[in-house]
Amino acid sequence: MAKIDFGGVIEDVVTRDEFPLDRAREVLKDEVVAVLGYGVQGPAQSLNMKENGINVIVGQNQGSRNWDKAVKDGWVPGKTLFSLEEAAEKGTVIQYLVSDAGQMKFWPTLKKYLTPGKALYFSHGFSVVYHSQTGVIPPKDVDVILVAPKGSGTSVRANFLDGSGINSSYAIYQDATGNALERTLALGVAVGSGYLFPTTFEKEVHSDLTGERGILMGALAGVMEAQYNLLRSHGHTPSEAFNESVEELTQSLIRLVSQNGMDWMYANCSTTAQRGALDWRHAFRKATEPVFDDLYESVVSGEETRVVLEANGAADYQEKLDVELKEMRESEMWRAGAAVRSLRPENWKK
């Protein structure tokens, strides 16, 4: 492991230098990795492993949209694509990548395929940490491990294809074979991680649920909407309001932050922007800290889990989701966004 200084705190991380792909292939040479679920993370992780030379099969419900997607991606029914049950039976490593609500629903069926010595792999600590609600309690004679890429499945795949990889956390919940760490790191490398950093199942789910409800998605969308609505209420056009609230962030500034850090971005913008941003950041931090406190408590208490399982387990969840997303998509702000995106140079008609 490499020791890296993260702002004065020394952490151990695993890079491709410490655990190269050849070593991962050696560790996994006798394994059959069964990826259950072909929705969000399943396609990226399975395709990346396959192209890295790992023996991978996919489990998915036949007749579903995701089954058809798997076939389109090159998985062959009866050879590398099976039902969830058949893939679970064949796999020595079972990557449980169906939705959190789906994991709870399928768990009574999956348990009988978790024979001694297998590895049960998660990319989210949700089901195991909140087992009192999900019922997911792994048997004692299997490895229970986690690799959680810090990005969407789309990013996991895109970063793999461009050679950059994506950062992932990893954790060992249960080491039944004595080989759980090797298996975990090998799988982490095989799915395309740029580097791997240690966590626990509990810390992963607490940080992940907070992050996606907070700055990664919920807070970001809410703050964008608030600024857009403010500008529109003062007579700014939709184009101006959207460019100032979203487009400049996503197309320019956030890329500078990603490449060089926030201080570099501040140093390379106008002095007017510097002064205002440096002063107002404190007000925004103080205003949002109570919201984040409430959010974290809701995550740790299991309230967010209750809401997710209740909503996502409903038969009409997809229909209700479609209504919510349609409302967002057809709002003035995001209709303005569609128009702005169409005017980007790469979309100009030749």
**Positions marked active-site:** 124
Q: How far apart (Å, rounded) are the C-alpha atoms in residues 113 and 161? A: 33
Q: How far apart (Å, rounded) are the C-alpha atoms in residues 73 and 156? A: 16
Beta-bridge partner residues of 104: none
Q: What long-range pairs does 232-238 form, CB within 8 A, spacing at least 24? A: 232/332, 238/332, 238/333, 238/335, 238/336, 238/339
Beta strand 9-15 with 33-36: parallel, antiparallel or unpaired?
unpaired
Count the alpha carbons within 13 Å of 294 in the hemisphere toward its beta carbon. 5
Give kind and range of the element (H or E) at residue 233: helix 218-233
Beta strand 166-174 with 143-149: parallel, antiparallel or unpaired?
antiparallel
Phi-psi domain of 310 (left: phi exceeds 0; alpha: psi -120 through 50; beta: other) = alpha
Question: Which strands sit side by side in the sheet containing 193-198, from one edge to the other?
Answer: 2-6, 9-15, 193-198, 166-174, 143-149, 119-122, 93-96, 33-36, 56-59, 81-82
Length in residues, the chain: 350
CA neighbor of 168 nearest in space, from 183, 190, 136? 190
Handedness of CA 216, 221, 222, 223 (dihedral sign): positive
Q: How far apart (Å, rounded) are the C-alpha atoms in residues 272 and 124? A: 43
Q: Are 95 and 120 in contact (CB under 8 A)?
A: no
Torsion, Cα 308 311 315 316, to 10 degrees, reads -130
